[in-house]
Amino acid sequence: MSIALKASHVLGQRYVILRQLRQEPWGLVYLAQDRLLKVEVGLKFIGRETPEFDLARKFLIQEAAAAYRLRHPLILAVFHGNEDPEGFYLVQEPFVGESLLARLNRREHFNLPQALHLLDQVGRAVAFAHEQGVVHQALNPLHILTGAEKVKVANFACPHRDEGQVEFLELRAYTAPEVLRGGEVTPQANVFSLGVLGFRLTAGSLPYPLTFDEGFPYRLETLPADLEEIPIPLQNFLLGCLAPGPEDRYPNVLSFLNALEQGRELWRASPRDTRSLWQPQTSISLAEKAKAAAQTLWQESKALAGKLIQKLTPAVTEALGRIKSAPPRLLGGLGLALLTVALIWLGARALRAPAPGPRSAPPALTTPGVPVAPAGPPRTAALPAPQAPVTKPTTPGTEEQYLVLVASYSQLNQAQALKNRLKTYNLQAKTVKTTPGGKPMYQVRVGPLAGKAAADQVVRLIKEHEGLSARVAKIPPNSSPQRP
């Protein structure tokens, strides 16, 4: 990676660096001031000290050449490229937003209308590029920029670069299988990438678990486990994008957009009770909201009670003083009158009281679910040893049961190592041997877990401390999960 330029550095005797905007695989992007035109611009810069400078320079020149054909409001504009003794740079549109990948890494969720709108915007940008003869070489969330309710697709000519960083691991899932086998990137390969993106936005997870110790990062032998999280009218649409063979996918992105619109209209026209089955995930449970409201009410009540006591204290003190100064005969009469009133009130209450009914049985005991942690950026501090397990087993049948599928390995010792690390977080981790396509694989799982909220919490914990994008699978009723 190129050495970062400092603020106020002047590049090409014209552009003053203001601040860094983004880190991309083939260069760093800065916000800069054009001293000649007195306007802000974006600068994508790669320094000569970079080991792959010649290769990066080649891709950036291709990007600048392609940009002349890609003038579109949904595509990041590139004005020109230039080279000087420090390196090579592109002068771009000064888009200060962040990548969609950064938002997904913060565990940010999109409701269904937002997800479909974003997918439609990206599809329109890619369709326009295809009409100009340009196919995106690495269509994934890293090259989709968002900000101020705007979307920009960028870096059409720059291929995928696997840098091994945790925040970039899931990008391997967006590459079509024929490209992973050495084939060229075609419009059908972009359709596959759009399908993965659509699944990620609507279901909140990747369609298939990733394998990190093999050249091929995923397996397409089975249906996506989280398919049920997506409304039925959109399931077949996404499956049409994710077909293993390019000939079985939508032939181009225009067909993709037409199918997307049809699926969206079917979802809008579906009965409201069916539509309500799909709800975006929330970062705070209803129980936590009720608890917070109760605490607020209690604090306000204490404050009001304190003010009331302060106002009544002088009056009560004065009344007690008058009673103490009254003659004993008057005090005795007052006490007798109060006793008479109390006896009359108790007698009337006894006459009105209904006959006691049969005692009701005590309410059944339930095990509370694990609350969902508030949404926010992942913490970088080391995880302390929990005082109690994160998940609690419950009686079968009381709640829906879920598994968290963490990762798959071809070597048992690698799976066992991950399982042992997960157990240090007090997770019920296990390894399960599978044979997809006749080849033995070892999958690391956590569970069973009672309730979707508990499973989602485990997914967030694993993402935060292991950098893995685990997914949730619902255990069918009347079945038991496989033992390690």
Q: What is the CATH number of the domain that holds 116?
A: 1.10.510.10
Sign of CA dihedral 376, 377, 378, 381: negative
Same structural domain, 419 and 453: yes
111 and 22 in a common domain: no
Percentage above 70 pLDDT, the chain:
68
Strand, helix or coil at 23?
strand
Say if 322 falls within a structural domain. Answer: no
Whether residue 61 lies inside any domain: the answer is: yes
* Average confidence score pLDDT of the chain: 78
Domain count for the chain, please give it.
3
Q: Is a pLDDT exceeding 80 seen at residue 7?
A: yes
**Residues 249 and 120 reside in one and the same domain:** yes
Q: Pick from 40, 57, 92: which residue ends a domain?
A: 92
Q: Are residues 197 and 80 in the same domain?
A: no
Q: How far is CA 169 from CA 105, 106, 306, 466, 470, in A?
A: 11, 14, 57, 11, 12
DSSP string, 328-372: HHHHHHHHHHHHHHHHHHHHHHHHHPPPP-PPPPPPPP-PPPPPP
Domain limit, last residue, from 37, 61, 92: 92
Tokens read off for 345: 């009130």
Distance from C-alpha of 179 to C-alpha of 186, rounded to nearest angstrom: 9
Encode pLDDT of 52-106 as tens digits.
899 999 999 999 999 889 999 999 999 999 999 999 999 999 999 899 999 998 8
Distances, alpha carbon 2 to alpha carbons 45, 58, 212, in Å? 8, 15, 26
Kindly state whether residue 264 falls inside one of the protein's structural domains.
yes
Residue 274 has pLDDT above 80, yes or no: no
Residue 144 forms part of a structural domain: yes
Mean pLDDT of 366-379: 36
pLDDT at 336: 64
The answer to whether position 241 is within a domain reads yes
The CATH number of whichever domain residue 435 belongs to comes to 3.30.70.1070
More confidently predicted of 84 and 408: 84
On whether both 139 and 251 belong to a single domain, the answer is yes
Residue 72 lies in a domain: yes
92-101, 212-221, 346-355, 430-439: segment of lowest average pLDDT: 346-355
Q: Can you give the residue range of the structural domain that contains 454?
A: 401-474
Domain identity same for 17 and 105: no
% of the chain exceeding 90 in pLDDT: 40
Question: Which has the closest alpha carbon to 217: 410, 418, 23?
Answer: 410
Looking at the domain assignment, is residue 83 inside a domain? yes
What is the predicted pLDDT for the residue at 386? Answer: 42
Q: Is the peptide bond before 448 cis (omega within 30 degrees of 0)?
A: yes
If one compares 439 and 42, the residue with the highest pLDDT of the two is 42
Same domain, 85 and 116: no
Q: What is the pTM of this model?
A: 0.58
Is residue 361 scored above 90 in pLDDT?
A: no
Least trusted range by pLDDT, from 144-148, 208-212, 252-256: 208-212
Q: Are residues 47 and 115 in the same domain?
A: no
- Contacts by 140-143 with C-beta closer than 8 Å and gap 24+? 140/101, 140/171, 140/174, 140/175, 140/193, 140/197, 141/99, 141/100, 141/101, 141/104, 141/171, 141/174, 141/197, 141/200, 142/24, 142/25, 142/99, 142/100, 142/101, 142/168, 142/171, 143/24, 143/99
Residues 6+ positions from 304 with CB-CB distance below 8 Å: none
Give pLDDT, residue 214. Answer: 66
115 and 229 co-located in one domain: yes
Which of 69, 92, 115 terminates a domain? The answer is 92
Both 122 and 250 in one domain: the answer is yes
Average pLDDT of 252-262?
Answer: 96
- 198 and 74 part of one domain: no
What CA–CA distances, in Å, run from 314 to 55, 179, 252, 311, 320?
86, 85, 84, 7, 10
